[in-house]
Amino acid sequence: MSPPDDTELEALLREGLKRPPLRDGGFTAQVLGALPRRRPFRHYRLLVGLGWAGAASGLSVALWAGCSGSGEASAASLISNAWLGFALVATLMSCLGAWYAIDSASRA
Amino acid sequence: MTPADSELIAHCLRNDDTDAFGELVQRHQSAVRRFLRHLARGDGALADDLAQETFIQAHRGLLRFRPDSRFETWLLGIAHNQFRNSRRRRRGEAALSEMNPEETALPSSERLSDLQMDLASAMNRLSADEQLSLMLSFQMGLSHSEIAAVLERPLGTVKIHISRGKERLRQILSPWNPRT
């Protein structure tokens, strides 16, 4: 008997080593169940702190800007005050930052 | 249309999408588990544990995957590392190599043809490296350079293993020669 040549041997190997795919049988579900939970957002406490500090500062500046005007200052003149506008924006942004941090932490 | 692996990976990375990763696991579980069963000499439970760990590692390291390579090749590389680490951990316990290869090389649930039985028996007479290289090449369809990447061996070494393995099989399998 002569040994098979290279092409025949390769065909034999392809045919002989062929196996049907293994059935999943719950393997994928098991892997997905074992995946580590999303890493908690590490700096959320810092962000919440900064957010509330920013909000408090903004409100303080707003109050200071409001109180330092003349007694008969109208609401319109208060809003037109640049300091007050800036303080309100800072307050809003800080509140949003704090909310985002809390939300991220609760979903993690 | 079925999304390509690269699209699913991008989806996983962008949205932390577990469903997309599940699709990837479903697609490649057979290749990874079969490869590990071969390494574990048919120990299905060990192979599946290692396969699970392989996918968890892959999920963790998805950012390190280079899109210019095949996802399955990358997974098989992780699986091979997992197996080596587990073997290192198990050193001192009952060595896998001491198990009877006739009993362990082929999962009992698989019905094999005469050719497959003879080939499996012939493969058992090759060295572990030769068996592994031939299996990756002819069963999984990996190129020589992909096999070198999975096994972390030089390309020349892989070529030698394949060539020597084929040469020995040629002698062992001469009764299967269709010309005779």
Tell if the CB–CB gap between A4 and B26 is shorter than 8 Å: no
- The answer to whether B90 faces chain A, any CB pair under 8 Å, is no
Q: Residue A37 in 3-state DSSP?
A: coil
Q: Residue A5 in 3-state DSSP?
A: coil
Q: Is residue B33 part of a domain?
A: yes
Tell if the CB–CB gap between A4 and B170 is shorter than 8 Å: yes
User: Does residue B12 share a domain with residue B90?
Assistant: yes
Report the chain A residue with the minimal C-alpha distance to residue B57: A35
Cβ neighbours of B13 (radius 10 Å) = 13
pLDDT at A16 over 50: yes
Q: Is residue B15 part of a domain?
A: yes
Give strand ranges (E) for chain B: none
User: Does residue B85 share a domain with residue B129?
Assistant: no
Q: How confident is the model at residue A41 (pLDDT cuts 50, 70, 90)?
A: low
Domain with B33 in it: what CATH number?
A: 1.10.1740.10
- Say what the pLDDT of residue B160 is: 95
d(CA B83, CA B62): 20
User: Does residue B87 share a domain with residue B149?
Assistant: no
**Max alpha carbon distance in chain B (Å)?**
59
- The answer to whether B48 faces chain A, any CB pair under 8 Å, is yes
Model pTM score: 0.67
Tokens standing for residue B16: 């932390």
User: Does residue B116 share a domain with residue B93?
Assistant: no
Q: Which of B142, B166, B124 is nearest to A4 (CA)?
A: B166
- Say what the pLDDT of residue B102 is: 38
- Say what the pLDDT of residue B37 is: 92
Report the chain A residue with the minimal C-alpha distance to residue B59: A35
Please give the ipTM for the structure prediction: 0.75
Compute the count of residue pairs across chains A and B with CB atoms less than 8 Å apart. Answer: 94
List all residues 6 or more positions away from A68 whose beta carbon is below 8 Å from its beta carbon: none
CA B25 to chain centre: 15
Q: Residue B91 in 3-state DSSP?
A: strand
- The least confident of A30-44, A56-70, B55-69 is A56-70
User: Does residue B18 share a domain with residue B95?
Assistant: yes
CB contacts of A12 in chain B (<8 Å) are 115, 119, 173, 176
User: Does residue B67 share a domain with residue B136?
Assistant: no
d(CA B106, CA B38): 8
Q: Is residue B71 part of a domain?
A: yes
How far is CA B23 from each of CA B4, B56, B76, rounded to the nearest angstrom? 10, 14, 17
User: Does residue B116 share a domain with residue B71?
Assistant: no
The domain in which residue B147 lies consists of 111-175
The length of chain B in residues reads: 180
Per-residue pLDDT of chain B (180 residues; tens, 9 = 90+): 678 888 899 888 887 788 899 999 999 999 999 999 999 988 889 999 999 999 999 999 988 898 888 999 999 999 999 999 998 887 756 545 544 443 334 444 455 677 778 888 888 899 989 999 999 999 889 999 999 999 999 999 999 999 999 999 888 877 665 554
Q: Is residue B50 part of a domain?
A: yes
Q: At A41, give phi and psi (nearest 5°).
A: -65, 115
What are the beta bridge partners of residue B93?
B91
- Say what the pLDDT of residue A38 is: 62
User: Does residue B161 share a domain with residue B72?
Assistant: no
- Dihedral over alpha carbons B118, B110, B162, B45 (to 10 degrees): -130
Interface of A with B (CB under 8 A): 1-4, 6, 8-10, 12-19, 21-22, 24, 27-28, 30-32, 34-36, 38
Q: Is residue B180 part of a domain?
A: no
Domain with B135 in it: what CATH number?
A: 1.10.10.10
Q: Is residue B139 part of a domain?
A: yes
Residue B76 in contact with residue B141, Cβ under 8 Å? no
d(CA B5, CA B40): 27
Residue A73 to chain B, least CA–CA distance (Å): 51
CB-based burial label for A38 (10 Å; 0-12, 13-18, 19+): exposed
User: Does residue B169 share a domain with residue B138?
Assistant: yes
Residue B60 to chain A, least CA–CA distance (Å): 9
User: Does residue B26 share a domain with residue B100?
Assistant: yes
Tell if the CB–CB gap between A16 and B56 is shorter than 8 Å: no
User: Does residue B116 share a domain with residue B97?
Assistant: no
Per the model's pLDDT, the better-predicted residue between B63 and A60 turns out to be B63
Mark which of B59, B79, B104 sits at the end of a domain.
B104
Mark which of B66, B81, B104 sits at the end of a domain.
B104
Domain count, chain B: 2
CB contacts of B170 in chain A (<8 Å) are 3-4, 9
User: Does residue B94 share a domain with residue B18?
Assistant: yes
Mark which of B89, B104, B119 sits at the end of a domain.
B104
